[in-house]
Structure 1
Amino acid sequence: MTLKPLSTYRLQITSRFTLDEAAAVTDYVAALGADWVYLSPLLAAVSGSDHGYDVVDHSRVDPERGGPEGLRRFSSAARIAGLGILIDIVPNHMGVAAPRQNSWWWDVLRLGQESGHARAFDIDWRLGGGRVRLPILGSAADEVVANREITVDPTPADDAPDGTLSYFEHVLPLAPGTGALADDLPALLAAQHYELRYWEDQAAELDYRRFFAVSELAGIRVELPDVFAESHREILRWLRDGLADGLRVDHPDGLADPGAYLERLADGTGCAYTLVEKILEPGEELPSWWRTDGTTGYEALALLDRLFVDAEGAQALTGLDARLRAETGLPAAQPWLDLVHDTKRKIADDLLQSEVRRLVRVLPQGVVGAADALAELLACFPVYRSYLPAGREHLRQAAAEAARRRPDLAEAIDELEPLLADPALEVAERFQQTSGAVMAKGVEDTAFYRFTRLGTLTEVGGDPSQAAVPASEFHAAQQARLSAWPHSMTTLSTHDTKRSEDVRARLSVLSELPERWAQVLGELRAVPASGHGPFDSLFWQAAAGAWPIASDRLLAYAVKAAREAAEATGWQHPDAGFEQRLAEMADAANGAASGILTRFVDEIAGFGWSNALSAKLLQLTGPGVPDVYQGSELWDLSLVDPDNRRPVDFAARARMLDTLDAEFARGILPPIDGSGRAKLLVTSRALRLRRDHPELFRTYRPLVVAGQASEHALAVDRGGVTVVATRLPAGLARIGGWQDALLMRPDLPATDVLTGRRFGPGPIALAELLEQYPVALLEDAR
C-alpha cells in the first residue's frame, strides 16, 4: 500500500448502501484493479440524506450509514483487500433543515448569542437584532399566526427545558423562560432567539452564510481554531487510528481562508494525502502554496471531453441553435461571456442578494451605489475566487470589465476595488467567499442549462465557448499535470456531473453529424415540443444520450434543467403549463418518438462507444490519479443528480468480471456492444497494469502517427506503456478508416494488454493495431 493512491474507486455511502455493504464489494474493487476506495461523506447527516453533505454531527459516523463499527468493519475489509481509503469531508457548512438533529444549531436557536456554539456559525447578529432568521414559513408571519399554523408544546424535554413550538414538520426550541407565554403566540415568537420568516425572504433577508443559495446548509467558521478542532476531531481520529489514509475536501472556496485551512489540516493529519474540490477556469492554476496533492479533476474531465468534439461541427450546431431561437420567437443567443455575465448578475441580484447586502454592511466606509457595484463586480469576476494577497489581477480585471459595462458605476467601483483587495478587511474576505457562490449558481446551475447546442460542453469545469482542443494542447496540459500535480485526481464522472461520461461521449458524436442531428431533432420536435426551441434541443439530447431511458427519469431531468435555466419556468414559481408540456415530451420519448430515437441512437451508438473507450483509457493511463465513479466501469447512461446516484449492482459486475477474466485467459474477447463488457475490459486492464507496474507510467511523451488519418489518433508513451486512442470516429469512417496510418514507435516488441496480441518491433499499422478495439495499451517487452 502506498501513501498516495495510484487510482481510486468512488462509492456513495447511504442508508441503502451502508459501510457494511461497501465492505462486501472491496474484493471486487481490488479485483477490478483500483488501488484505493474513495468514500462519500460519513459523518452524521440529516436523516434520510442520500449524499451526506448536510452534516449535523461532527463527532460520529452516521448511524444510518453504518456507524463507527461499520467504518471499522469496512476499513478492515479494505485492508485485507489491499486497498487504501480516501474519505470526503465537509468543512464549510452544516445541515440545519432538521434543527433537532443538529445539537449545535439547536443550542444556538434556544440560547442565541449566549450559546457556546454561536460563534461556530457565520451569523450576522446585528441584522436580526440578535436573532437568527429562519425562512421556513409558507406565508407572512402574521398570517401564519392568524391561521393558527404554529403549535406550542410547553412540556420540558432534555434538549428543550422550556418546550418547543412546531410549524408543520419544523420543530424549534423555546428560549429559557418563555414557555409561560404559550397563550400569547405573538409575544412568544417575539421572545425567541430566532425570527420566523416567509421562505422567499431568504434571497434578500437572510442573516447567516449559506452553501451557495441553500438555506438548509449553514456556513460554519472553521477558520476559528476551536471550531476547527471540534469539527475535525473525529476526522483526524480516522487517520490516526488507521481507518483512513487521505481526505477529499468539499468546497474549499467557501472557506474564509482555504490556504490556512489546508495548513491546519496538513498539520493535523501528518500531511496525509489530501485533495480539494476546486474548479479551475481554463488557464487558471491551482494555488501552488496550498498543502494539497491536487484537485478532484474537473479540469481533466473538460480537457478529455474536448478531444472528441469536432470544432467545425460545433459551429454548425451553433447555427442550428440560432434557427431554433428564430423559429420559437426567442432573441438571438448571447456570446458566452455576455450570457455568463447576465446569469451571474441575476444570481447576485436575486438568489444571493442576502450575501451582497452583507458585503455592503461590512464595508468600512460608505460607498454610494455599493450594492449595485458589488453585484456588478461579482458578475464580472473571471474565476471562482481570489486568495488574497494573490489574485488581485482577477479583481483588477473584474473592475475594468464592470466599469466598461456600467460606466455609471465607475466611481463606486474605483472606491470598492482597494477595499476588496485588502485582505485585512472583512469585506474583502467575504467578497472572496461570495464570488465562488455567484459563479457556481450563475454558470453551472444557470448558464449551462441555457447553452443547449451541445451537452458535452456544459460540464463542470468546462468553458462552452471552447468546443474542441487540438492534440498538441491536450499533450501540453498532460505534461504540465505530470510536472506540477502528479498526484492530482482525474475524473470523467462524479456524483455532481450533469451527464455521465458515456452520455457525453455519445453526444460528442453530434458535433460530427450536425446536419443529421438537425434532421432528427426536427422529427422529434414534430411529435411534441415545449415551445422553447433551444430547450427542446437540450431535452432530446438528454433522451438520445441516455437512451434507452424511462420517461420518469427523463422528466425529472427535464424539470430540473428547465428550472435551473430559469427561462420558461423556475424553482420558486414553476410554470405549470410549460412543465406539463415537458411531461408530454417525456411520455412521447417512450411512445410516439421511440422509433425515431431508437433508429438514431443505433446510428451513433458505435461512435459513442469509441469515444467512451478512448476517453476512459486516456484518463486511466494519463498523469494524475484516475478515479472510477461507482458502476461506470460498464456503460453508465446517467443524467444529473439524483439520477447519477442510483443503486449499482455490484454482484452482477463481479460476476461479469470473473467471466471476462476466464474468457480472456482462453483468448475470448468481449465485443463492443450494449453490455458494456468492452469497457469493463479496458477499465480492469488499465487499472491493473497501473497498480502492478507503476514504473511504466512515470513519463509522458507524445508519439507520432503518420498517414492521412493521423488526426484521428492520439498516441502517448508513458515510459514503458504506449496508449493509443481514436478521435472523431464518425469522420474516420467517412474517409474509409485508417488506410495507411502508422504508429511510429521504437524497435521494441510489445503486447497489447487489452487483447493479448503481440506486435514486433518498429512502426505498427493502425488498421492492424485497432482492428478489434478503437484503443490499444501496448506494454513494451522488458
Structure 2
Amino acid sequence: MRVPRATYRVQVSGGFRFEDVKGLAPYLARLGVSDLYSSPYTKARPGSTHGYDVVDHNELNPEIGTPGEYEEMVRALHEGGMGQVLDIVPNHVGVGSENERWTDVLEHGPASENASFFDIDWYPINRPELRGKVLLPVLGDHYRATLENGELVLRFDRDEGSFSVFFYDHRFPVDPKTYPEILESLPLPEGEAETMELESLATAFGNLPGRDETGEERVGERMRDSAVNEARLARLCGSSSEVLGAVERRVEGLNGNVGEPESFEGLHRLLEEQAYRLAYWRVASDEINYRRFFAINDLAGIRQEDQPVFEATHELVLGLLRDGKINGLRIDHPDGLYDPAGYFEDLQDAASEALRKGEGEPPAYVVVEKILAAHERLPEDWPVSGTVGYEFMNLLNGLFVDASGEEGIDRAYRRFTGRATTFEDLLYASKKIAMRDELASELNVLSRRLLRIAEGFAGRRQYDFTLHVVRDTITEVVARFPIYRTYVRPGHVSEADRRYIDWAVGSAKKRTTAPDTSSYDFLHEVLLLEEEGPAEYRRAVEAFVGKFQQYTGPVMAKGMEDTSLYIHNRLPSLNEVGGEPERFGVSVAAFHIENAERARRWPGAMLSTSTHDTKRGEDVRARINVLSEMPSLWRENLLRWGRANRTRRRVVEDHPAPSRNDEYLLYATLLGAWPLEGLDGLDEEGLEDFRGRIRAYMEKAIKEAGTHTSWTNANEEYEGAISHFVDALLTPSENDLFLQEFLPFARGVARLGALNSLSQTLLKLTVPGVPDVYQGNELWDFSLVDPDNRRPVDYGMRKKLLDGLEGMDPAGLADGVTSMLEEGEWQDGRPKLYLTWRALGLRRERPALFSEGEYVPLGVSGEGADHLVAFARVLGDEAAVVVAPRLVASLADDSGALRLRPESLASISVELPAGLAGTGLTDVLTGELVAVEEREGASTVRADELLRGFPVALLASR
C-alpha cells in the first residue's frame, strides 16, 4: 500500500479546474506534500461548487476540465513525485434532469432498469396513493395551486418523440404507456396513412408492459419498445406537419388556461398516471419515500449493498486506481451506507483486483469520513487506513483550551446571554426537533416497520403496541443515542455497539413518563437482533435494524452539527464537527495517549486541522481558544461592548435583535476572523469585504440555529436586524466606542492565536498519521464555515513567499527566521509557511522515521512544565524531537513580535530519550546546534534556549 507522506486538499470546481491544479503542482512539490487530496470531480450538477451532488460516477465533470486536461494534471503531479487521493461519494447522487438514471426511474417507475439503484420505498404501508410512485416535493406551493397557476407545463420533444412536464427548470418525463392520453382522438382526417400510423403508435404505447411488471424480460421489453415507439413518433412528426400540429395543439390544450380551473383537468389526469407525485416542498419531511442525504431533497441515497449498483458506480474510480492516476480514496459519508463494513470489503476486493494485488498483499489506501465521539473507536474490522481526522482535530484543539478557565467562561456566557441549558439537554431537544420537522417521513417508515414486527406474522400476535407508542419509543431512543450510528449485522454485534444500544435504550427508558415501558425492551431486543422467529420475520427485523442505523446518523448530524453547535456558544472554538463542546480542554497526557494509540492501530489515518466541512478555520479556532486563558477580561469586554452597542439593536417580536446569544457569537467571530492587515483599522474596501463575509456567516448561523429564523421559515425582520447590527459595528465613526475598544483587544488575541497556530501546525506535521493541509492554510487563514472557506486562494502570493524562503542563506538562517517574527513582519504568514515547509521537508528526507518511528512522550520539568508539549519520533539511530508551547498568554512577550519571554521558560527543561545521549541535535527551524545538558544521568535541553529563535522547536539527529 502506498500511504501518503502528507496531503494537500484542494476544492476543484468550475472556478478552479484541472488546469489550475496542473499549474499548482510544482508549488506543492516544493512545499513538501506527497499527494494531492482532491474534492470529488466526477460529473456533478451544473454549477456545483463542491462536487458532492454527483450525477454520473463514471464521467469526469466537464466543468472542471476535459479528459485531456485531466491527463495533463496527473502528469504534472507525477513529474513532481506526487500521487493523488480522491474524494468519492458512494452514498448518494444529485437528482434532477441531469441524472439519467433518476430520470429513467421517474419515467418507468418500478419497471425501470434503474429502480433498484435508488433507495425508494415503492409500496409505503401508510400511503396507498403512493404505491408504485415516488414523491417529488419540488413545488413552491400546493399542487393544485401550482397546476392552476400554469406553472406545470407539458411539452413535446419533436426530435425525441417524447413528452415531459416542466416546472420551470425541473423536467419530469411522462410514462410512455400513458402517451395514449395525449395521442388518442386527435382531430386528424380518418383513413389517412399518417392518422393510421398515429393510431397504431397510440395502441403500441398503450400495450407496453405496466410499471408493476418488474420481471427482467418484461422490463427489457418495456425499455426496448418505448425507445422504438418514440423514434417512430419522432419520424412521423418530422415527416407530417399536420400530425405535428395536431400533437402540439393537443399539448397546448392540456396545459390549460389560467383563471379556468376546469381546463387543467386533462393535465391533472395525465399527472395522476405517472410514476411520481409532484408535491409542495414542505411535505417532504412527512411524506417523502426515498432516502435522502440528511434532509436534502435533491440528494437521493443509492443502494451500494446491491452488487450491480456498486459495480456501476465504481468503474471510473477503479480504472483510475488501476492506471496509477489516483493512489488512494477518501470515502464520503460512510455512515449513510446500509452496510459500511460490507462496502469497504467490496471496495478493497475490487481495488485489489484492479491493482492486480496478490493474496495477502496490502490493498488500496482508503480513509473514511467517519465522525467519532470522544469515547468511540473506529471499528477495527474495517479494511481502511483510518478516518479523515476530525477526532484528531478536536483532540489537538483541546490542547490550547485552558481547562482552568472553564468556570470563568461559563460565568461570562451566562452573564451575557442568560443561558443555562446544558449541552446534553440542548442536543436531546435539537434531535427531537430534527425528527419532528425534517426527518419525520423516515421516522414514520421506521415506526410502521417496527409495529409490523411487534404484531408478528401470519396472525401470530406478539405485542399490543399502538403506532403512537412505537413512534415515541423510537424517537426517545434515537434522541438519546450517544454516537452517530451502530454497525450491527447478522452474526456480528460488537461489544461496543451493544454498549451504545444498552445506554441509549436504558437512558430513554429511565426518562420516559409512559406507564408501560415494555416497548423499550422490545426495541432493545430488535436492535441487537435477539428477536426469534421464522426466516421472513428475521429478514424484517434485519431490514429494520439496517434502516434504523441509517437514520440515527442524519438525526445526530442535524441535531448536533446543524443546530446545537450554533446555539451553545460559550466557547465557539469547541463547536466543531466531531467535537464535544462540553469537553473543556485536553491534557498533555491525554494527547500523548491518543497519539500512541493511533500509532499502534491507525498509523495511516489522516490528520486534519481544517476541512471544507469545519465550522471555522484552524487559525480562527486558535484565536478563540485564547479566551479560555483570560475569561475575566473576556467577560469585562463583553459587557462593555454590549453597552456600547445597545442603541444598534432592534426589537423584533418584543425581543432584542440580535439576541444576546447571537450577539455573543458575533463578538467571538469578529475576534476569530478579523483580518491581520486591519488590526489597526481596515480601509473601506477591506471593511466592505469583511462586512459581507460576516453578514453571510451570521445569516447562516442564525438560520442553522433555528431559534429566531430558519431556512424553512425565514424571519426576514430578525435577519434584517442582524445585518443592520453587523453593518453598524463595522462602520467606523468618530464616536465609535466599540471599535476603539475592540481593536486593541483583538491585536493581543491575534498574536497569541498565531503562536497557538504555530504549535498546532508543528504537532499535526509530526505526530503519527498523515498530515493534511487544507487549501491556503499554509499561511494564516481566517475563513469561517462554507462557502467562506471555499473562496479563491492567492497562490501567486504563496509561491512568491516560498521563493523568498527558499532563497534564505543557510548560514544566516537564524537571523532570517528572527526577522520574520518581528511585529509588522509575521502578519504576512511567512512563519506558518516556513514551519510547514521545513517540517514537510524533514518528513520527505526521513519518511520512515515519521511513518514507522516510535512515538515517545518526553518528560518536561520545572515551573510551568504543563505549558509545553514534547515528544520524540525514534527509529533506530534516527530521531526527531518536537517541542511546542501551549496556553501561551502568560509566556508571550509584549513587544508585538511572535516570541516567548525567556524568563517564563527559564526553569523548564525537556528530557531527551536515553538513546540520544551524546547525539548531536540540530534545530531544523533555525539551523543551530542544540546544547544538550547532562543532569543526573539524563540528557536535557533548556526550554528558554530551545525556543529562543523560534516559538516552536523541531530537532533532528545528525
TM tier, smaller: over 0.9
Distance in 2 between residues matched to 1:777 and 1:68, nearest whole Å? 43
Q: Which moved more, 1:409-418 or 1:537-546?
A: 409-418
Distance in 2 between residues matched to 1:156 and 1:398, nearest whole Å? 58
Structure 1 residue 654: Cα displacement: 1.2
Map of 2:685 onto structure 1: none
- Specify the code of the residue in structure 2 equivalent to 1:652: M
Residues 1:118 and 2:118 are matched in the alignment: no
Distance in 2 between residues matched to 1:25 and 1:723, nearest whole Å? 30
Unaligned runs of 5+ in 1: 327-331
- Does the CA-based 8 Å contact 1:7-1:36 persist in structure 2? yes
Map of 1:317 onto structure 2: 409
SS for the counterpart of 1:135 is strand
Map of 2:943 onto structure 1: 766
Residues 1:716 and 2:871 are matched in the alignment: yes
Map of 1:449 onto structure 2: 566
SS for the counterpart of 1:386 is coil
Residues 1:705 and 2:860 are matched in the alignment: yes
Residues 1:400 and 2:577 are matched in the alignment: no
Map of 1:535 onto structure 2: 662
Map of 2:382 onto structure 1: 290
Relative to 1, partners in 2 of residues 1:430 and 1:15: Cα closer, same or farther, differing over 3 Å?
A: same
SS for the counterpart of 1:647 is coil
- Does the CA-based 8 Å contact 2:947-2:953 persist in structure 1? yes
Map of 2:285 onto structure 1: 203
Structure 1 residue 711: Cα displacement: 1.1
Distance in 2 between residues matched to 1:73 and 1:167, nearest whole Å? 41
Map of 1:329 onto structure 2: none
Deviation string for 1:279-308 (max 9, x for gaps)?
A: 110021100000000000000000000000
- Does the CA-based 8 Å contact 1:162-1:178 persist in structure 2? no
Q: Which moved more, 1:412-421 or 1:561-570?
A: 412-421
Mapping of 1:429-440 within 5 angstroms? 429-440=546-557
Structure 1 residue 400: Cα displacement: 0.4
Mapping of 1:177-326 within 5 angstroms? 177-179=177-179, 180-181=181-182, 182=251, 183=254, 184-270=266-352, 271-326=363-418
Deviation string for 1:298-320 (max 9, x for gaps)?
A: 00000000000011223211112
SS for the counterpart of 1:674 is helix
Map of 1:135 onto structure 2: 137
Structure 1 residue 164: Cα displacement: 1.5
SS for the counterpart of 2:57 is strand
- Does the CA-based 8 Å contact 2:752-2:892 persist in structure 1? no
- Does the CA-based 8 Å contact 1:162-1:177 persist in structure 2? no
- Does the CA-based 8 Å contact 2:416-2:638 persist in structure 1? no
Q: Which of 766, 769, 778 pairs up with 2:955?
A: 778
Q: Which of 455, 467, 473 pairs up with 1:373?
A: 473
Distance in 2 between residues matched to 1:140 and 1:421, nearest whole Å? 42
Map of 1:581 onto structure 2: 721
SS for the counterpart of 2:122 is coil
Map of 1:737 onto structure 2: 904
SS for the counterpart of 1:758 is coil
Map of 1:463 onto structure 2: 580
- Does the CA-based 8 Å contact 1:12-1:630 persist in structure 2? yes
Distance in 1 between residues matched to 2:308 and 2:626, nearest whole Å? 53
Q: Which of 494, 501, 524 pairs up with 1:417?
A: 524
Q: Which of 352, 357, 379 pairs up with 2:439?
A: 352
Distance in 2 between residues matched to 1:531 and 1:236, nearest whole Å? 51
- Does the CA-based 8 Å contact 1:709-1:738 persist in structure 2? yes
Structure 1 residue 569: Cα displacement: 1.2
Distance in 2 between residues matched to 1:557 and 1:76, nearest whole Å? 39
Mapping of 1:93-112 within 5 angstroms? 93-96=92-95, 99-112=96-109
Map of 1:560 onto structure 2: 700
- Specify the code of the residue in structure 2 equivalent to 1:743: V
Q: Report the TM-score when normalising by structure 1.
A: 0.96
- Does the CA-based 8 Å contact 2:416-2:639 persist in structure 1? no
Deviation string for 1:334-378 (max 9, x for gaps)?
A: 222221111111111221111111112323234421111111111
Distance in 2 between residues matched to 1:268 and 1:470, nearest whole Å? 42
Map of 2:751 onto structure 1: 606
Q: Which of 625, 638, 644 pairs up with 1:521?
A: 638
SS for the counterpart of 2:854 is coil
Q: Report the TM-score when normalising by structure 2.
A: 0.79
Map of 1:694 onto structure 2: 847
Structure 1 residue 681: Cα displacement: 0.6
- Does the CA-based 8 Å contact 1:311-1:467 persist in structure 2? yes
Distance in 2 between residues matched to 1:522 and 1:334, nearest whole Å? 21
Residues 1:173 and 2:173 are matched in the alignment: yes
Structure of higher CA gyration radius: 2
Q: Which of 690, 695, 710 pairs up with 1:550?
A: 690
Structure 1 residue 604: Cα displacement: 1.2
Map of 2:832 onto structure 1: 679
Structure 1 residue 157: Cα displacement: 4.9
- Does the CA-based 8 Å contact 2:58-2:315 persist in structure 1? yes
Structure 1 residue 410: Cα displacement: 2.0
- Does the CA-based 8 Å contact 1:503-1:637 persist in structure 2? yes
Distance in 1 between residues matched to 2:67 and 2:777, nearest whole Å? 28
* Equivalent pairs, count: 771
Map of 2:770 onto structure 1: 625
Deviation string for 1:69-119 (max 9, x for gaps)?
A: 2322211111110001100000000001xx221000010111111110011
Distance in 1 between residues matched to 2:314 and 2:454, nearest whole Å? 37
Structure 1 residue 733: Cα displacement: 4.4
Structure 1 residue 589: Cα displacement: 3.6
Distance in 2 between residues matched to 1:619 and 1:58, nearest whole Å? 33
Map of 2:790 onto structure 1: 645
Q: Which moved more, 1:668-677 or 1:212-221?
A: 668-677
Structure 1 residue 407: Cα displacement: 3.7
- Does the CA-based 8 Å contact 2:620-2:672 persist in structure 1? yes
Distance in 2 between residues matched to 1:777 and 1:510, nearest whole Å? 27
Residues 1:659 and 2:804 are matched in the alignment: yes
Relative to 1, partners in 2 of residues 1:153 and 1:664: Cα closer, same or farther, differing over 3 Å?
A: farther
Relative to 1, partners in 2 of residues 1:310 and 1:157: Cα closer, same or farther, differing over 3 Å?
A: farther
Deviation string for 1:491-534 (max 9, x for gaps)?
A: 10000000000000000001111122222223333323434112
Deviation string for 1:576-608 (max 9, x for gaps)?
A: 121112102221342144443322211211110
Distance in 2 between residues matched to 1:596 and 1:376, nearest whole Å? 47
> What fraction of aligned residue pairs are identical, expressed as a percent?
40
- Does the CA-based 8 Å contact 1:709-1:739 persist in structure 2? no
Distance in 2 between residues matched to 1:598 and 1:73, nearest whole Å? 47
SS for the counterpart of 2:37 is strand
Deviation string for 1:625-669 (max 9, x for gaps)?
A: 000001100001000000001111112211110111112534222
Unaligned runs of 5+ in 2: 125-129, 183-250, 255-265, 353-362, 456-464, 530-537, 650-656, 676-688, 733-737, 894-900, 934-939
- Does the CA-based 8 Å contact 1:8-1:627 persist in structure 2? yes
Distance in 2 between residues matched to 1:628 and 1:740, nearest whole Å? 35
Distance in 2 between residues matched to 1:575 and 1:732, nearest whole Å? 46
